[in-house]
Amino acid sequence: MESFRVEMENLHLEKVKELKMREEAAMDRIKSKEREIEKASFTHRQKVLSAEETMRLRENDIKKTVEMELILVKNEKDRMQQAIIDYERKLSEMEQFKLRLEK
């Protein structure tokens, strides 16, 4: 009976050892997968941040371009208004000169 008990204890200890080894192997695989997932997640976050920064820079460039074009349009509008004023003034001067010549 004693030898049977010892044999069962040894068998039990072997099974416990085997289960612990399998558990440790499973934990190692899980930790390895977690590291892979964290690495992939970090890489993805970096790509997203980089894409956001690129978009922000493009948006700023577009805003600057639009602002510059608006300034150019305003300047051209002001120049055209001044040209119209100058033209109307010269036309008025010519009319006045014509009236003086007719007298």
Going from the C-alpha of 59 to that of each of 2, 71, 99, the distances in angstroms are 83, 18, 59
What spatial distance separates the first Cα and last Cα of the chain, rounded to whole Å?
A: 150
88 vs 46, 73, 77, 81, CA distance in Å? 62, 22, 16, 10
pLDDT classification of 102: cutoffs 50, 70, 90: confident
pTM above 0.75, yes or no: no
Over residues 39-87, the pLDDT tens digits come to: 999 999 999 999 999 999 999 999 999 999 999 999 999 999 999 999 9
Helix, strand or coil, per DSSP, at residue 6: helix
